[in-house]
Amino acid sequence: MVQGSTDHSGQAESWRTDSSGNRLTGTQLAVAALREGIRKGRYVPGQRLVETDLVTEIGVGRNSLREAFAYLASEGLVQVEPHRGASIRRRTHTEVAQLYDLSEVLEGLAARLAAINITQPGNAESLTAAIDREHRDAAGGSANQRIDDAARLHETILAIADNPRLTELVTNLHILTFSFQLRHTRLDGAQDLGETSLAEHLAVVEAIRQADPQQAEIAMRTHIRSAKEQVTALPKDASG
């Protein structure tokens, strides 16, 4: 968790709460807003992050925003250059492929653990709700909506896996991998990608429902490899 500090920019520190009721400092709020903006394609690779615009948009002071830039730079999401400011980091095809390789292993483990834990109270119901939502939106939803539904399913599987450290690692990867997939859907057939992703998700969900850890891991790793192939097939100036 990003540690907040007093904002000395002359503006009052912005305190808000997350879904658990925990207060967020201005720095934490800016980090959360920028991460979500990257995931949803609002901020794209190479885009300059203009402080005056973001101070107003997010509702934080300049010091909080700059602390957020520094934190996100340490995660590899933002690049900060002297006299040029902050921008969204560009990634090479090789870097994109490596991120998906990590995601394949970690999300495969999450699916395996979810299959082990599926009989715990409420787990089967939450998994069914997530895949039903994705199925419902598959035909008529926007690219953003389909990506959001896919993200919710992956988050549900992580929650069922019940490994906080694994959740932290995968959530950070999701910020990038889902942003890559969103750009892919905009450039190369959103409907086809949505249908492919849904079919693969159904295979993962079925294996988890059957409490089959080995098959759940195989299905998830197959799904992540498929996403990697689709994204890395994009022109080099479009994937990262």
Let me know if residue 187 belongs to a domain.
yes
Same domain, yes or no: 130 and 209: yes
Query: pLDDT per position in the chain (240 positions), as tens?
Result: 333 333 333 333 333 555 566 778 899 999 999 998 888 888 888 899 999 999 999 999 999 999 999 999 998 899 999 888 999 998 888 888 999 999 999 999 999 999 999 999 999 999 999 999 998 887 776 767 877 888 899 999 999 999 999 999 998 888 887 777 666 555 555 455 567 788 999 999 999 999 999 999 999 999 999 989 888 887 665 445
Amino acid at 59: G
What's the total number of domains in the chain? 2
Closest CA to 221 of 70, 62, 104: 104
Whole-model pTM: value is 0.79
What tokens appear for 150 in the block?
A: 């896919």
Q: Are residues 50 and 106 in the same domain?
A: no
Same domain? 68 vs 110: no
CATH number at residue 100: 1.20.120.530
Based on the fold, state whether residues 71 and 116 are members of the same structural domain: no
Last residue of a domain, one of 29, 55, 88: 88
For residue 138, tell me if it sits in a domain.
Answer: yes
- Shared domain for 103 and 215, answered yes or no, is yes
Is there a single domain that holds both residue 69 and residue 185? no
Looking only at the bridges linking them, the beta strands covering 78-81 and 85-88 are: antiparallel
Structure tokens at 156: 């549900």
Identify the domain containing residue 43 by its residue range.
Answer: 16-88
Domain boundary among 88, 115, 130: 88
In a shared domain, residues 83 and 114: no
In a domain, 3, yes or no: no
Do 71 and 99 belong to one domain?
Answer: no
Whether 238 maps to a domain, the answer reads no
Is the separation of the CB atoms in 130 and 204 below 8 Å? no
Of 200, 206, 110, 191, residue with least CA distance to 158: 110
Q: For the chain, how long is the longest CA-to-CA vector?
A: 57
Residues 97, 71 within the same domain: no
